[in-house]
Amino acid sequence: ILNVEQSPQSLHVQEGDSTNFTCSFPSSNFYALHWYRWETAKSPEALFVMTLNGDEKKKGRISATLNTKEGYSYLYIKGSQPEDSATYLCAFYPGGSYIPTFGRGTSLIVHP
Amino acid sequence: EPEVTQTPSHQVTQMGQEVILRCVPISNHLYFYWYRQILGQKVEFLVSFYNNEISEKSEIFDDQFSVERPDGSNFTLKIRSTKLEDSAMYFCASTRDLSQPQHFGDGTRLSIL
């Protein structure tokens, strides 16, 4: 069983605040890390696919970094908006497998 | 943009009955997956399917479960003799290749009474 942890479990911020949260995963035998955004009553939507140590990806106000040597990825949201409210899931793929292990997610609520 | 579609959105079934959950993956995708999420718990992998056969399955996916791709478009999950603990959201996902993220359906909420 692979240990994929996300923190914090939940986060409440005010509109306009910037925020970040963490996904940690086994640092040995890394293949890829995916970030998904999951709004209530919808399906998870892919945000980023991260494969190389030092990767930085950006989509609008959301960005992510990857450190495979120490086994973590950060997701940043700049200037949070109420529509950013969702659960953010990471999924870790070990080398030699295309089966992801998901974290529990970070639930973000942005208050207007 | 093409989507993964799942039906039904909610299925209520008596314990001991069989259920079939249906998924239509994106048409040019090659890898298909079923996941479940029990309320309050993590998303858990059940099974993956490639080239018309199961490529990997978890310890959850025992003889009670089966998958089929009967006609080249549908991808079904059958649960025989359902138990109370099978109550969960079941998600189907597909991807064209393994370097790409998976596309998820909206899920089927399965309630076993």
Distance from CA of B22 to the nearest CA of A (A): 15
A10, A33, A49, A99, best to mutate vs chain B, most B CBs in 10 Å: A99
| Structural contact between residues B30 and B97, judged by C-beta atoms closer than 8 angstroms | yes
Neighbour tally for A43: CB within 10 Å = 19
pLDDT (tens digit per residue) in A55-76 = 999 999 999 999 999 999 999 9
Secondary structure of chain A: what % helix, strand, coil (to 5)?
Answer: 5, 55, 40
Query: In whole angstroms, what is the distance from residue B100 CA to residue B41 CA?
Result: 25
Give the model's pLDDT for residue B71: 84
B61, B91, B102, B109, best to mutate vs chain A, most A CBs in 10 Å: B102
Give the model's pLDDT for residue B93: 95
Query: In whole angstroms, what is the distance from residue B49 CA to residue B29 CA?
Result: 11
What's chain B's average pLDDT?
92
* Ranges in chain A, pLDDT < 50: none
> Nearest-CA neighbor of B49 among B79, B77, B21, B86?
B77
Distance from CA of A112 to the nearest CA of B (A): 26
Q: What is chain A's length?
A: 112
Phi-psi region of A50 (alpha: psi -120 to 50; beta: other; left: phi over 0): beta
Instruction: Please report the DSSP string for B12-37 in residue order.
Output: EE-TT--EEEEEE--TT--EEEEEEE
Asked if B7 reaches chain A (Cβ–Cβ under 8 Å), the answer is no
Asked if B48 reaches chain A (Cβ–Cβ under 8 Å), the answer is yes
